[in-house]
């Protein structure tokens, strides 16, 4: 939940974001629409505790992130939030298994929730070939990298999954296939999902579809 939030990026050309109120229900899927540069990624950074608000409340899973220091926010994010990045951010020379299990190194509670064979099970559920866990990530196709990035976000069953434009490079058929696999896994774990995109065609699968302009106001000021 965000409440009375205000954030400004520092710099010569400042960008400000104000959010009176925004929430996601447990197990709910929300698509947040907005054009490039509208502040979608900034909002995700606030929810994940990567940056902190100038004022207001950012509450995730009952924890007010404004009460935590930088290290505590990093630990909280590792334990409670699975992130799917637009560019996937896989380690190209590490194996698929190591990439998927990477969040568990920084999250003891999440590591305890992960079954020993969960990485392989997620790969199978996401339609990846048997035995792919030993392959280095740099040898995968774009579609395979995307699915590995989803498995990395899901492992250890974090209660919130955040996705930043994960379908932007896909055609309509590939988008539909990807979303089907993602939603199947979200339903299996009961996680909440927040996805940001500029693509209105994705909205049919989500419980709620919102426009950033409906929940937030932005401003730019040049010094």
What would the pLDDT profile of 99-154 be if each residue is shown by its tens digit? 999 999 999 999 999 888 999 999 998 889 999 999 999 999 988 998 999 999 99
Q: Which domain holds residue 75?
A: 25-50+71-212
List pLDDT tens digits, range 162-184: 999 887 767 777 788 888 888 99
**Is the whole model's pTM more than 0.75, yes or no?**
yes
List pLDDT tens digits, range 6-25: 998 877 457 888 999 999 99
Q: Domain holding 174: CATH number? A: 3.40.50.300
With respect to residue 10, please indicate whether it lies within any of the assigned structural domains: no
Region 77-97: what's the mean pLDDT?
A: 93
Number of compact structural domains in the chain: 1
With respect to residue 2, please indicate whether it lies within any of the assigned structural domains: no
**What are the tokens at 129?**
């070939």
With respect to residue 147, please indicate whether it lies within any of the assigned structural domains: yes
Locus of tokens 């974090």: 158
With respect to residue 8, please indicate whether it lies within any of the assigned structural domains: no
Q: What is d(CA 82, CA 85) in angstroms, rounded to the nearest whole number?
A: 10
What is each CA distance from 164 to 29, 31, 72, 135, 190, in whole angstroms? 14, 10, 23, 25, 20
With respect to residue 178, please indicate whether it lies within any of the assigned structural domains: yes
What is each CA distance from 189 to 2, 118, 122, in whole angstroms? 24, 12, 12
């Amino acid at each position: 939940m965000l409440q009375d939030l205000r954030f400004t990026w520092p710099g010569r050309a400042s960008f400000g974001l104000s959010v009176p109120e925004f929430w996601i229900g447990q197990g709910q899927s929300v698509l947040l629409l907005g054009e490039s540069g509208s502040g979608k990624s900034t909002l995700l950074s606030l929810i994940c505790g990567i940056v902190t608000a100038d004022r207001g409340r950012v509450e995730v899973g009952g924890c007010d992130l404004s009460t935590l220091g930088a290290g505590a926010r990093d630990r909280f994010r590792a334990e409670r939030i699975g992130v799917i990045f637009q560019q996937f951010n896989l380690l190209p020379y590490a194996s698929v298994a190591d990439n998927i299990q990477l969040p568990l190194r920084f999250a003891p509670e999440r590591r305890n929730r992960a079954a020993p064979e969960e990485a392989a099970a997620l790969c199978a559920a996401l339609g990846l070939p048997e035995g792919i866990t030993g392959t280095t990530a740099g040898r995968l196709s774009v579609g395979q990298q995307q699915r590995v990035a989803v498995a990395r976000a899901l492992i250890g069953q974090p209660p919130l999954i955040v996705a930043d434009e994960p379908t932007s490079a896909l055609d309509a058929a590939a988008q539909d296939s990807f979303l089907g696999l993602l939603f199947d896994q979200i339903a299996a774990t009961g996680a909440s999902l927040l996805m940001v995109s500029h693509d209105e065609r994705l909205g049919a699968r989500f419980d709620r579809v919102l426009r950033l302009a409906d929940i937030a106001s932005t401003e730019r000021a040049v010094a």
